[in-house]
Amino acid sequence: MTKDRPINPATPLPEAFDARARDIFRHIVDGYLANGEPVGSRHISRQLQMPLSPASVRNVMQDLEDLGLIYAPHTSAGRLPTELGLRLFVDAMLEIGDVSAEDKRQIEAQVRAAGAGAPDKFEDVLAEASRLVSGLARGAGVVIASKAGKRWKHIEFVRLDPSRALLVLVGEDGQLENRLLPLPAGLPASALTQAANYLNARLGGRSLGEVRAEIETRRQEMEREIDALTARLIDSGLASLSEGADGATQLIVRGQANLLEDVRAAEDLDRIRRLFADLESKKDLIDLLTRAESADGVRIFIGSENKLFSLSGSSLIAAPFRDSQQRIVGVLGVIGPTRLNYARIVPMIDYTAQVIGRMLDRRR
């Protein structure tokens, strides 16, 4: 993360945005991000370095309102930034610093401790990272991780009765995938062992996609080595596993209770209720997080920019994490109100995603 630079410095500011307008706009946004309250012209007039009367400040505020960047929530009230104003501020004016040395130590220590406590389950590392960012940001921490590139080391067919078997797949990280598999009529017990041996000879340290690709390119060779019933068992077993173990996405959400800590009014509580309902819509949340996979770094989604938060008025800050081949294998993020502390949270999410990537490489 580049220190003390806007997220998107190429974002143009409106032509009417002179130094005075920028200063007043920044005070309005800073006040909103600090306490969620509207900021009035008299308060801004006292805070400005350049001498400016409250009436002059109100004139500038009217210009900003005409641009759609701020609005008055009540008659005679101060002003709050609109979602458009927040987007402009985040892209063109928000200055992102680095993560403090203390925060870096805390992030690395907690993620590493999760890995040491459960060396065979990387999911525990992801869950701890989600809890960690939820605590640091006082929001809901979220993680999605793709299983498409997951590496596997062993497969076993366990007959349950003449017509069914349990297919057990063991990952390099120790995680298990189980599937009930119908068996072809008349399949001998030896075929289960033969199918497992055939797959295990090709599976070690590879993904199911890689194994499937090899079998397809060597289909004639396989048919010479094993009988037709065993080949059918292999094909149906791989197809069954592919429905969940190779291409599925796991979603972890932690820290939803943090969202209730700063509820100040009935409308805030209603917003949180709507957000909780949004979080229950796991498919929409996964789709939203997946959009962050296309980013080089951190992405920020604000309010109605996405359908998931169109009613709750929330924001998501998310960053992808990568393996040693720079392949994106998941996304880490935090969800909270639109007045999240972006300057502090953005570099934390970015750094924690990097720590997860390093942990992932050490496990493979």
* Angle between helix 101-117 and helix 122-137 axes, rounded to 10 deg: 150
Do residue 142 and residue 158 come from a single domain? no
Last residue of a domain, one of 207, 242, 277: 242
Q: Give me the domain span that covers residue 38.
A: 19-93
Asked, for residue 3, whether it belongs to a domain, the answer is no
Q: In what order do the strands lie in the sheet with 299-302?
A: 249-254, 140-146, 328-337, 314-322, 299-302
Q: Phi-psi bin for 115: left (phi > 0), alpha (psi -120 to 50), beta?
A: alpha
Can you list the positions of beta strands (E) in 163-298? Answer: 164-171, 176-182, 249-254
Confidence (pLDDT) at 25: 94
Angle, alpha carbons 15-16-22 (nearest 5°):
105
Do residue 348 and residue 265 come from a single domain? yes
Do residue 264 and residue 120 come from a single domain? yes
Last residue of a domain, one of 199, 218, 242: 242
What is the pTM for the complete model shown? Answer: 0.69
3-state secondary structure of 184: coil
Cα 267 to Cα 279: distance, rounded to the nearest angstrom: 18
Residue numbers of the chain with a pLDDT score lower than 70: 1-12, 16, 75-76, 115-121, 146-150, 173, 242-249, 262-268, 278, 281, 283, 293-295, 310-312, 361-364
For residue 97, the tally of other CB atoms under 10 A from its CB is 14
The domain total for the chain is 3
Confidence (pLDDT) at 139: 85
Cα 333 to Cα 349: distance, rounded to the nearest angstrom: 7
Label the pairing between strands 328-337 and 314-322: antiparallel
